[in-house]
Amino acid sequence: MASPDEVKAVIARGVKSIPNSVKLWIRAAELEHDKAIKSKVLRKGLEHIPDSLRLWEAIVDLANEEDARLLFHRAVKCCPLHVKLWLALARMETYENAKKVLNKAKEKLPKEPAIWIAAAKLEEANGNTAMVGKIIERGIRRVYKKGVSIETARAIYAHALTIFLTKKSIWLKAALLEKKHGTRESVDAILRKAITSRTCHRRSSEEIWLAAFKLEFENHEPERARMLLVKVQERGGTERVWMKAAIVEGELGNTAEERRLLEEGLQRFPSFFKLWLMLAQLEHRLGHLNEGRQAYESGLKHCPSYCIPLCLALASLEENMNGLGKARAVLTMARKKNPKKSESIELRHANKKEAKALQECPTSGIIWAESIEMAPKRKSSNAYIKCNHDPFVRIGRLILARRLLDRAVCVTSGLCIIILNFSMGMRRSKWMS
């Protein structure tokens, strides 16, 4: 059996003869007992084979943390296509530096899922959970730009979902990918996997189903949207599920089923005011005004703090049915029940009055001038055009421009004198209509 010195001599002759043999350099380092000498041998090997992952990993194992970080910086320059080196360097850096490292890694390895996942994990670890889904989506878009197949995109999502099991946004984007490029069965498979995931809580599970429902509904697939909601209802579901189910039936014209869902939802969630609003609106559509009023009144009894949206809707209905007196009584009661929100009640009711007035008198300069004061940015230009340059609208526009109007005096039917107080003095403008 050869002695250690004889073995060293043989290995030394070997690395001279075959300097590109990684195994010989690794063996030569293993025969040394001093860490400094081991490191020296490995550095010599890297001079001949700078792109050897094994040699870089071996020399880093011998270094302290700071030296290891510097070695990794050299390693990624020599081996830019080795994902393990990029990830190891990112783990050793601070948050800001790690982001820079991973950004460089994305440039070198844009198709590598592990890089994008590492970037997402970095943001999550630093409390930026909103960035997780965005980074994954950015990775998918980068993949598409590089002309990579759909299978690669699927692989990125699949890898991401093994780590971010509770991230609704990633599940939904994976489902959207299948919606565009897969089959209905593949979409359903993604959603089932999301729902049955052990770490997926009931609330997040429902949000995934509701988002899938929205996807189908907006793509004009009401039957599939309905099927998704039925599945959620079978698992219980919150008030939002019943509301959306009623919306679908309303869109399909199934008023009987819409009514059934609303009534059943109100039995389960009597304090959810939107269901009361929808029930009252259904009655209104069918011409059952008294039943609509009863729905509003029942909602006000069940909803806390005398719900303002229900109050305003009931006031509008009372105005149509019985005149302003009844509507005013409803609003008065609302103000008493919600003293801190009385201004909001008044303003919203005034907005409704203004809209109705503009419908009946669309070319009235006075009404448009009042409207401009309430919502100047939206209405000043439209008003001036619709009213054929009416003087009162011009006044309203000047109010908006200066906010210093004292008064407008109509001298004749064709002339208005606008008196404006400016901080620099009095300025008077005259113009003919």
Mean pLDDT of 144-150: 61
**Total-model pTM:** 0.47
Encode pLDDT of 341-380 as tens digits: 555 555 555 555 556 555 656 666 655 555 555 554 444 4
pLDDT above 70 covers a percentage of the chain that reads: 73
pLDDT at res. 409 = 34
Return the bridge partners of 417, or none: 409, 430
Query: How far, CA to CA in Å, does 153 sit from each of 113, 170, 172, 191, 388?
Result: 9, 12, 14, 17, 57
At residue 182, the pLDDT reads 78
Domain covering 1-79 in this structure, CATH number: 1.25.40
* Numbered ranges of CATH 1.25.40 in the chain: 1-79
- Give yes or no for a contact between 417 and 409, defined as CB atoms under 8 angstroms apart: yes
Q: d(Cα 144, Cα 122) in Å, to the nearest integer?
A: 23
Residue 427: CA atoms inside 13 Å, Cβ hemisphere, count? 10
Q: What is the pLDDT of residue 56?
A: 92
**pLDDT-wise least confident of 52-56, 292-296, 333-337, 377-381:** 377-381
pLDDT score of 85: 92
What pLDDT digit, counting tens, does each position of 404-414 carry?
333 333 333 33
DSSP state of 339: G
Tokens 């073995």 locate to 7
Q: What is the pLDDT of residues 217-272, one digit of tens each?
A: 777 778 878 887 887 787 777 888 889 889 888 888 899 999 999 999 999 999 99
Mean pLDDT within 300-319: 84
Distance CA 292, CA 177 (A): 43
Residue 405, SS3?
Answer: strand
Say which amino acid occupies 362: P
User: How many CB atoms within 10 Å of residue 281?
Assistant: 17
